[in-house]
Amino acid sequence: MLSQESLQQIDREIAKYPPGRKQSAIMSALRIAQVEKGWLPKEVIEFVAAYLGMPPMAAYEVASFYNMYDLEPVGRHKITVCTNLPCALSGGVYVADYLKQKLGIGFNETTPDGKFTLKEGECMGACGDAPVLLHNNHRMCSFMTTERIDQLLAELEKQ
Amino acid sequence: MSAHALILAGLDGDRTWRLQDYVARGGYEALRRVIAEKTPPEAVIAELKNSGLRGRGGAGFPTGLKWSFMPRAFPGDKYLVCNSDEGEPGTFKDRDILRYNPHAVIEGMILGAWAMGCTRGYNYIHGEIFEVYQRFEEALAEARAAGLLGQNILGSDFSFELFAHHGYGAYVCGEETALLESLEGKKGQPRFKPPFPAAYGLYGKPTTINNTETFASAPFILRLGGQAFLELGKPNNGGSKIFSVSGHVSRPGNYELRLGTPFAELLEMAGGVRAGRKLKAVIPGGSSSPVLPADLIMDCTLDFDAISKAGSMLGSGAVIVMDETTCMVNALERLSYFYHEESCGQCTPCREGTGWLYRVVHRIEHGLGQPGDLDLLRSVAGNISGRTVCALGDAAAGPVQSFIKHFGDEFAYHIEHKKCLVSPMVQEAGRQIHVSRPC
Confidence of residue B430 (pLDDT cuts 50, 70, 90): low
CB neighbours of A41 closer than 8 A, spacing ≥ 6? none
Whether residues B335 and A65 touch (CB distance < 8 A) is answered with no
Per-residue pLDDT, B197? 96
B-proximal residues of A, 52-111, CB under 8 Å: 52, 54, 58, 61-62, 64-69, 83-86, 88-91, 94-95
Mean pLDDT of the residues in chain B: 94
Over 60: is that where the pLDDT of B433 sits? no
Residues of B in contact with A84 (CB under 8 A): 89, 287, 334-335, 338
CA B45 to chain A, closest CA, distance in angstroms equals: 27
Q: Each residue of A137-151: pLDDT tens digit? A: 999 999 999 999 999
Q: Each residue of B302-311: pLDDT tens digit? A: 999 999 999 9
Confidence of residue B139 (pLDDT cuts 50, 70, 90): very high
Measuring CA to CA, which residue among B320, B242, B336 is closest to residue B281? B320
What is the CA angle A93-A94-A100, rounded to 5?
90
A-proximal residues of B, 11-70, CB under 8 Å: none
Per-residue pLDDT, A10? 98
**CB-nearest partner of B439 from A21, A66, A143:** A143
Q: What is the reported pTM?
A: 0.96
Give the whole-angstrom CA distance, residue B139 versus residue B158: 20
Name the CA dihedral angle for B289, B293, B297, B298, rounded to a multiple of 10 degrees: 160
Per-residue pLDDT, B436? 42
Give the whole-angstrom CA distance, residue B102 versus residue B215: 11
**CB-nearest partner of B127 from A54, A68, A86:** A68
Mean pLDDT score, B178-185: 98
A/B interface, count of CB pairs below 8 Å: 185
Give B155's DSSP letter: G
Are A40 and A63 contacting, i.e. CB atoms less than 8 angstroms apart? Answer: yes
Confidence of residue B431 (pLDDT cuts 50, 70, 90): low
**Number of Cβ atoms within 10 Å of the Cβ of A55:** 12
Whether residues A68 and B168 touch (CB distance < 8 A) is answered with yes
Over 50: is that where the pLDDT of B419 sits? yes
Amino acid at B77: D
Q: What letters, b where the CB count within 10 A reaches 16 and e where it falls short, cover B173-204?
A: bbbbbbbbbbbbbbbbbbbeeeebbbbbbbbe
Instruction: Please classify residue B401 by burial: count the beta carbons closer than 10 Å to its beta carbon, then call 0-12 exposed, 13-18 middle and 19+ buried.
Output: middle
**CB-nearest partner of B185 from A23, A126, A130:** A23
Over 70: is that where the pLDDT of A20 sits? yes
CA A157 to chain B, closest CA, distance in angstroms equals: 22
Whether residues A127 and B170 touch (CB distance < 8 A) is answered with no
Distance between start and end Cα atoms, chain A = 25
Q: What is the largest CA-CA distance in chain B?
A: 73
Please report which helix (H) or strand (E) contains residue B123, including its range: strand B120-125
For A66, the closest chain B residue by CA position comes to B169
Whether residues A134 and B77 touch (CB distance < 8 A) is answered with no
Give the whole-angstrom CA distance, residue B85 versus residue B178: 11
Interface test with B, best of A64, A94, A123, A143 (most B CBs within 10 A): A123
Measuring CA to CA, which residue among B322, B323, B292, B321 is closest to residue B309? B292
**What order do you get walking across the sheet with A133-135 strand by strand?**
A109-110, A116-121, A77-82, A133-135, A139-141
ipTM over the 0.95 cut-off: yes
Per-residue pLDDT, B438? 35
Instruction: Using a CB–CB cutoff of 8 Å, tell me whether A29 touches chain B.
Output: no
Give A80's DSSP letter: E
Residues of A in contact with B170 (CB under 8 A): 65-67
Q: Each residue of B259-277: pLDDT tens digit? A: 999 999 999 999 999 989 9
CA B27 to chain A, closest CA, distance in angstroms equals: 25
Mean pLDDT score, B346-357: 97
List, as one string, the DSSP characters of B363-404: HHHTT---TTHHHHHHHHHHHHTT-SSSTHHHHHHHHHHHHH
Whether residues A94 and B89 touch (CB distance < 8 A) is answered with no
Are A63 and A69 contacting, i.e. CB atoms less than 8 angstroms apart? Answer: yes
Per-residue pLDDT, B439? 34
**CB-nearest partner of B131 from A26, A28, A140:** A140
Out of B142-156, B228-242, B388-402, which region has the weakest mean confidence (pLDDT)?
Answer: B228-242
Residue B283 has φ and ψ, to the nearest 5°, of -100, 110
Are B339 and B395 contacting, i.e. CB atoms less than 8 angstroms apart? Answer: yes
Whether residues A18 and B92 touch (CB distance < 8 A) is answered with no
Residues of A in contact with B252 (CB under 8 A): 90, 127-130
Give the whole-angstrom CA distance, residue B81 versus residue B113: 10
Q: What is the largest CA-CA distance in chain A?
A: 51
Confidence of residue B400 (pLDDT cuts 50, 70, 90): very high
Q: What are the strands, taking DSSP E only, across A108-147? A: 109-110, 116-121, 133-135, 139-141
Instruction: Using a CB–CB cutoff of 8 Å, tell me whether B428 touches chain A.
Output: no
Per-residue pLDDT, B237? 87
Over 50: is that where the pLDDT of B1 sits? no
Sign of the dihedral defined by the CA atoms of residues B91, B93, B99, B104, in that order: negative
Give the whole-angstrom CA distance, residue B97 versus residue B261: 21
**CB-nearest partner of A125 from B95, B170, B334:** B95
Q: Determine how β-strand A109-110 pairs with β-strand A116-121.
A: antiparallel
Are B307 and B285 contacting, i.e. CB atoms less than 8 angstroms apart? Answer: yes
Sign of the dihedral defined by the CA atoms of residues B204, B205, B210, B212, in that order: negative
**CB-nearest partner of A65 from B165, B188, B253:** B188
**CB-nearest partner of A23 from B184, B331, B436:** B184
Q: Each residue of B191-201: pLDDT tens digit? A: 999 999 999 99
Whether residues A122 and B120 touch (CB distance < 8 A) is answered with no
**CB-nearest partner of A125 from B126, B248, B283:** B126
Q: What residues form DSSP beta bridges with B81?
A: B122, B209
Give the whole-angstrom CA distance, residue B376 versus residue B247: 29
Q: Each residue of B233-245: pLDDT tens digit? A: 988 888 999 999 9
Instruction: Using a CB–CB cutoff of 8 Å, tell me whether B342 touches chain A.
Output: yes
Give the whole-angstrom CA distance, residue B103 versus residue B142: 9
Residues of B in contact with A54 (CB under 8 A): 185
